[in-house]
């Protein structure tokens, strides 16, 4: 293999070891699929020339991973059902593992590496199906996302051993330690190696950004994000119990993809179950892979032990806001249940001021990157002080709680409601703009008129004042403060012109 990239040259410097190359059959598949006059029959013929590859490919297509209604018996039928890209990637997966599943690399646990990689591939395929992302390259990309680890270990085993040793005693990530010791990391090595093999950009580019999603090119964030989820899933199922990893995965699937606890558990169970059958198809041993139910039970026991000590700390450290914030940060790392202390308002169940500002910044960045629009609505409960003064703070809190529930019932799953002050609320509406925004805000205002809190002197009715603004990057980039100030002025206009009305910025 002709190595031309500087990173690969640096990795190979001082060693006579050769980095693995793509087998001939794999090269033929890649070259065929890149031809302008490519036809389906050519791919079918290449795979069919290798009876072992044909059998394995058909076996995986018929496995529980793809849940076909009826089994297929030929490669051409498989291509017709799953498409060229899927069959090409499945065939490449078998070719690569068959060629590289060897114990010739001293000190490298090849069996564990491929077991972990296949688990990641299964996880990426399943999560892309659950999220309806239609990522045709998810399986093979996840399978190869750590190929740079293998290459670095093969070429510089002592240096890579130093990375792993430091990782045990350091708060730094493996990527950071690789950069310190090598001057580059396994993401970069993997990307350049797969590029040398001639694999398409849609496979090697997401691998380079799986741990750095914020810098990922616009074409690949969905697949790079799926790789992150797949990597965490594989780590949970294949390594020693880590409650922190389980918390991290739950937070990603909950916050970013709005999957509830039941769906997350179902996803993990499905990955564990289908990984075992997929490993058998690749003629790899599942070893002592635990069922997810057992892993979850152990994680809950570990978190319960941590949680009990944190409860004691909560009671002791409630004296100041600063101490409470520090405690919340620690709880976030330890238990997904404690995560709510950091991001949820306890009275309404909505997100709080802190999380609101984080999400506004992210949504503005996303809008600027893709020239998209989104709506922000600021709302005040009118005359809440009067309710507190005449009926008591208990009933004022009941009004706030009632309004919080109303917001949750009124917004879409992709929207975000937050309580950002005593009687101040905000709603973030991605991909909603123009007339729809004003209509939605007016519907919110009129809907509140039917709400009320029961009191011995009669039902407590209330109204809201509303300010609406649309973020449009094409009209000029604003800071977060400037954008919020515009909508705040619209809200102030509603309050000063009689309340119970909607104003646009």
pLDDT in tens, 116-140: 999 999 999 999 888 887 777 888 8
Greatest CA separation for the chain: 89
Q: Write down the pLDDT at residue 306.
A: 55
Report how many helices (DSSP H) and strands (DSSP E) the chain contains, helices first: 24, 5
Please report the pLDDT score of residue 103 as a whole number.
Answer: 63
CB 79 within 8 A of CB 297: no
End-to-end CA distance of the chain: 61
Q: Can you give the pLDDT at residue 444? A: 95
* Mean pLDDT split into 10-residue runs, the chain, 505 residues: 61 76 84 79 86 88 84 86 83 85 70 90 90 81 90 88 86 88 90 86 84 78 87 86 72 80 87 90 81 74 54 37 44 44 78 88 85 92 92 92 94 89 92 84 95 89 95 87 94 95 93
Secondary structure string (H, E, C) spanning 479-493: CHHHHHHHHHHHHHH
Nearest to 303 by CA among 256, 346, 241: 241
* Contact between residue 46 and residue 25 where contact means Cβ atoms under 8 Å apart: yes
Burial class of residue 503 (count of CB atoms within 10 Å of its CB; 0-12, 13-18, 19+): buried
499, 384 Cβ separation under 8 angstroms: no
Secondary structure in 3-state letters for 163-183? HHHHHHHCCCCHHHHHHHHHC
Tokens in use for 405?
A: 């529930």
The pTM (predicted TM-score) of the whole model is 0.58
Cβ pair 417, 411 in contact under 8 A:
yes
The label of the residue with tokens 């997100």 reads 351
pLDDT in tens, 338-387: 444 457 888 898 988 888 988 898 889 888 877 888 999 999 999 999 99
């Amino acid at each position: 293999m002709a190595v031309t990239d500087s990173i690969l040259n640096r990795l190979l410097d001082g060693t006579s070891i050769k980095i693995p190359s793509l087998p001939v059959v794999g090269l033929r598949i890649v070259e065929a699929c890149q031809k302008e006059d490519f036809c389906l029959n050519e791919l079918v013929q290449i795979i069919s020339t290798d009876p072992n590859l044909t059998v394995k490919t058909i076996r995986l297509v018929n496995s529980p991973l793809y849940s076909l209604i009826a089994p297929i018996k030929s490669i051409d039928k498989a291509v017709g059902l799953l498409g060229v890209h899927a069959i090409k990637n499945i065939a490449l997966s078998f070719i690569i593992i068959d060629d590289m599943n060897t114990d010739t690399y001293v000190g490298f646990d090849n069996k564990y590496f491929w077991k972990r990689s296949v688990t990641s591939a299964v996880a990426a395929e399943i999560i892309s199906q659950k999220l309806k992302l239609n990522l045709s390259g998810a399986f093979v990309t996840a399978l190869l996302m750590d190929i740079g680890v293998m290459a670095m270990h093969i070429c510089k085993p002592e240096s890579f051993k130093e990375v792993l040793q430091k990782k045990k005693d350091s708060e730094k990530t493996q990527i950071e330690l690789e950069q310190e010791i090598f001057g580059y990391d396994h993401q970069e090595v993997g990307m350049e190696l797969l590029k040398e093999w001639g694999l398409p950009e849609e496979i090697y580019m997401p691998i380079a950004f799986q741990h750095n999603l914020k810098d990922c090119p616009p074409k690949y964030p969905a697949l790079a994000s799926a790789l992150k989820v797949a990597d965490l899933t594989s780590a949970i199922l294949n390594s020693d119990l880590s409650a922190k990893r389980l918390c991290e995965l739950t937070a990603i699937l909950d916050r970013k993809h709005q999957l509830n606890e039941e769906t997350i558990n179902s996803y993990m169970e499905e990955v564990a179950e289908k990984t075992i059958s997929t490993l058998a198809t690749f003629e790899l041993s599942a070893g002592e892979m635990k069922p997810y139910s057992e892993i979850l039970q152990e994680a809950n026991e570990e978190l319960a032990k941590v949680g009990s000590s944190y409860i004691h700390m909560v009671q002791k450290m409630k004296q100041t806001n600063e101490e409470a914030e520090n405690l919340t940060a620690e709880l976030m790392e330890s238990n997904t249940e404690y995560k709510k202390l950091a991001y949820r308002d306890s009275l309404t169940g909505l997100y709080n001021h802190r999380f609101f500002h984080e999400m506004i910044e992210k949504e503005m960045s996303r809008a600027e990157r893709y020239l998209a629009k989104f709506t922000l609505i600021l709302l005040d409960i009118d005359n809440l002080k009067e309710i507190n003064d005449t009926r008591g703070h208990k009933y004022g809190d009941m009004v706030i709680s009632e309004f919080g529930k109303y917001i949750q019932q009124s917004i879409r799953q992709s929207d975000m409601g937050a309580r950002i002050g005593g009687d101040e609320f905000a709603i973030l509406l991605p991909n909603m703009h123009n007339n729809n925004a004003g209509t939605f805000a007016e519907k919110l205002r009129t809907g509140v008129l039917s709400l009320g809190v029961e009191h011995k002197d009669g039902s407590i009715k209330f109204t809201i004042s509303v300010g609406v603004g649309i973020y449009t990057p094409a009209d000029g980039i604003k800071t977060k403060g400037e954008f919020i100030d515009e909508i705040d002025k619209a809200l102030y206009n509603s309050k000063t012109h009689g309340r119970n009305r909607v104003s646009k910025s």
